[in-house]
A and B are shown apart, each in its own frame.
Chain A
Amino acid sequence: MNKFTFTSFTFLCCLLFSVNSVIAAENIPAPASSLENDDFKWADYKKQWMDDIQIHGFLSQGLFSTSGNNVYGKSKDSVSAGSTEIGLNISYQALNNLSFAVQGLYRRAGESTGPEGTVSLDFAFIDYTFFRHQAGRFGIRAGRVKNPWGLYNETRDVAATHPTIFLPLAYYERSRALFVSMDGGQFYSDYNTNIGNFTFKFNLGLTNPADKELLAAITYNPSIQGNLTSDLSLVANLNYEIDNGKYIFALSYANLNLGYDGQTLDPYKDLNAKIDSFMLSAQYNGERLSLTAEYALQWNKFNQLYNPFPPPGNTFDASPVSEHWYVQAGYRILNTLQATLRYDSSVQDINDRKGINSSQNPPFLPAHIMFTQDIVFGMRWDITPAWMLRAEYHRVHGSSTVSAFDNPNLIQQAEHWNIYALQLAYQF
């Protein structure tokens, strides 16, 4: 798959260069009239070529100050600028039913990516619509595709596409690698009716879970050496929209399977995980008022987890059921100024909502690392269609969603804390 994505990336880079040369060519003054007829045809061809290619991008920079716990670097009683995201994509509509798209992403997210950040191929696929009729179409996308999980996951790194700087807890950054994209393919179907539009997407393939943050979230051990691997997984989503998005209802389902790649003597070498999850989403988008609610339940099976406490060398299994939900209201005071209020809840195990059971057993971590409740108030200002500035305040109870790399001492994580955040974003 990596070879494939590399090939498509190279191919699309070549396209990008050809577009540039076409733009350059268009600046050359028109030649003498004797050649006009031939040139006219060539110009027509170039015009068509240009219309079929689009280049878009986005960038965002955040500024954070917190009490109690760190977010995106050292923000506790200080200011951190540890979140930067830059994306660039190119899409080429080669034929009426065949297209190519690729997006590269640079991302810096506190200690988990380090100060230099990481570059990744966000998506790269061939899209072939094999059947279309008056009311819809069927098709496949092969390559690396985004996972249609809930309302925000597909565009989670594009600041302008979600109302607050921090995504709701259901999309928390720790499990980002689990959901972000899939290498394999997507079957899709659109169906437009008088009572609304249906979109069905079905992703099958391997996720990209080789992420230390995710591993630390499962094992509570940030110093673990190996990497998570993926077994065949699927993510499916059925989306129903009335009046082109005035009312949106969605059902998402994920079945994700993970293995572990480590040295022979690695105590976690037999670790594996099976995750079954669904999410229900509903959204109303009025002229001024927007209301959103999502509910997710996730059945986790973590097998062969290593227990570092005596007796040494033993392993154990855990099967917590985690739950995330939120309700969110947005109001557009002006077309360019939006206020958002959200109540957000996340628990690691519905059978131990307060974390008491967990805190009384090894490794005796504080109860509040098992849940988070978050009240958010944010203001968003769309300065121009391209530039956006927003600010928000979070009152947080619990620390189940904080990064283990920004807060390596799990015992010292604070239960009650605040986040003040500012973000500037650009999109084109």
Chain B
Amino acid sequence: MNFSLFSSHSTHKKQRIFCPFLCTCLFILNSHSIYALEVITHPDNTAQLEQLKQQHNLASVFAMRTLYWPNGERIRVIVLPDNNTIHQRFVKENLHLFPHQLRRTWNRLTYTGTGQAPNTVDSIAEMQELVNQTKNSIGYIDKGESHE
């Protein structure tokens, strides 16, 4: 940010008006680019999710290593495609992994028959719908977007 823009006397008045405007703009822009991604689950599993997070690493849930909810039911994982930017951000920021690491693990399960890969949906709206419909499911949403 170049503050010298506002240093001259002639622009003092403009500055008083412009500054809050600029700050608001920056706030909106920033909040748009840093809004959080959040793990969501079927309404029946909300309490279980807290317990799951305490006992296990979320990364191991999405890597299909942690397969069961604390109550013993199988976790149904739902994700967006590998090339979706929300998926890429979720994997990096929330799971601290890279999408290609998860793909490698899922491919191994899928093509050796030793496990099942997560279900893939095409959009956040579909994600929310499927998670709401599917018992024991887990997915993620982008809080900054409207999902109605």
Which residues does A use to contact B, with CB under 8 Å? 47, 51, 54, 56, 58, 87, 89, 91, 93, 96, 99, 101-103, 123, 125, 127, 132, 134, 137, 141, 146, 154-155, 158, 160-161, 188, 190, 192, 197, 243-246, 285-287, 332, 335-336, 384-385, 427
Q: Is the interface of A mostly helix, strand, loop or mixed?
A: strand
Query: Does A123 contact B112, Cβ atoms closer than 8 Å?
Result: yes
A192 contact from B60, B105, B108, Cβ within 8 A: B60
A158 contact from B98, B105, B111, B134, Cβ within 8 A: B111
Query: If the complex has contacts A244-B101, A285-B100, are A161 and B108 also in contact, measured as CB distance less than 8 A?
Result: yes
The docked-state distance in angstroms from the alpha carbon of A160 to that of B107 is 9
Report B102-136 CB contacts with A as 1/0, cut-off 8 Å. 10110110111110110100000000000001100
Which residues does B use to contact A, with CB under 8 Å? 55-56, 59-60, 63, 65-68, 72-74, 76, 81-83, 88, 95-102, 104-105, 107-108, 110-114, 116-117, 119, 133-134
Query: If the complex has contacts A56-B111, A154-B108, A385-B83, are A244 and B74 also in contact, measured as CB distance less than 8 A?
Result: no
Chain A residues contacting B95 (CB-CB under 8 Å) are: 244
Q: Output the least CB separation between A78 and chain B (Å).
A: 32
Q: Output the least CB separation between A11 and chain B (Å).
A: 14
Query: Does B104 contact A245, Cβ atoms closer than 8 Å?
Result: yes
Q: Output the least CB separation between A343 and chain B (Å).
A: 22
The docked-state distance in angstroms from the alpha carbon of A205 to that of B32 is 57
A-B CB contacts (within 8 Å), total count = 101
The docked-state distance in angstroms from the alpha carbon of A102 to that of B111 is 10
The docked-state distance in angstroms from the alpha carbon of A249 to that of B88 is 26
Query: Does B66 contact A51, Cβ atoms closer than 8 Å?
Result: no
B100 contact from A47, A154, A155, A332, Cβ within 8 A: A332
The docked-state distance in angstroms from the alpha carbon of A34 to that of B68 is 38
The docked-state distance in angstroms from the alpha carbon of A336 to that of B103 is 13
Query: Does A96 contact B72, Cβ atoms closer than 8 Å?
Result: yes
